[in-house]
Amino acid sequence: MKRNAAYPGTFDPITNGHHDIVRRAATIFDRVVVAIAANPNKTPLFSLTERIDLARRVLSDLPNVEVTGYSGLTVDFARSNGLDVVLRGLRAVSDFEFEFQLANMSRHLSRDIETVFLTPQEQFTFISSTLVREVALLGGDVSQFVHPLVAAELKKKRTP
């Protein structure tokens, strides 16, 4: 039986932590779809098109990984794309409570979709898109935390 996973998130922008999770997932699942939520209520720094474009370029070396945008419920997106697993990353205990709520809500909304968690390598456990954005916009060096393409785009956002 084929196993296909959706990896949903805002990816504003994609970080080395996300990349680590996707790379691991690509060895476990037949197909991994990185599902980028439009999430207008989060007022992202990068537009949906920019977030998709960056993720596609950063993940282009992984042949069984696709990147697509979506809006609406993640379980609806997963079901309509033939994805039976929703993949999430757990960095620390602080992620657990929200992720646990989300996984239970997903199960109530759709009994046939399972949530699966992966943890990143230790050096990525403190990376979040929020922190990367904040550091980059204040002029800090984020080259250890994101792909060079992403670092370059963050630099452009800083200089209007």
Q: Hey, which residues are catalytic here? A: 18, 42, 91, 129
Residue type, 136: A
Beta bridge mates, 65 = 32
Q: What number of CA atoms fall less than 13 Å from residue 92's CA on the CB side?
A: 8
Chain position carrying tokens 């990816």: 11
Q: Which of 47, 60, 71, 130 binds ligand ATP (CB under 6 A)?
A: 130
Q: Which of 55, 89, 115, 146 binds ligand ATP (CB under 6 A)?
A: 89
18 is a site residue for ligand ATP (CB under 6 A): yes
Question: Token pair for residue 151?
Answer: 């670092």
Residue numbers 36-75 binding ligand ATP by CB under 6 A: none
Interacting stretch for ligand ATP, rule CB under 6 A, among 27-35, 72-80, 86-94, 108-116? 86-94
Q: Nearest to residue 18, comparing CAs of 114, 127, 107, 122?
A: 127
Interacting residues toward ligand ATP by CB under 6 A: 9-12, 15, 17-18, 21, 88-89, 91, 95, 120, 124, 127-130
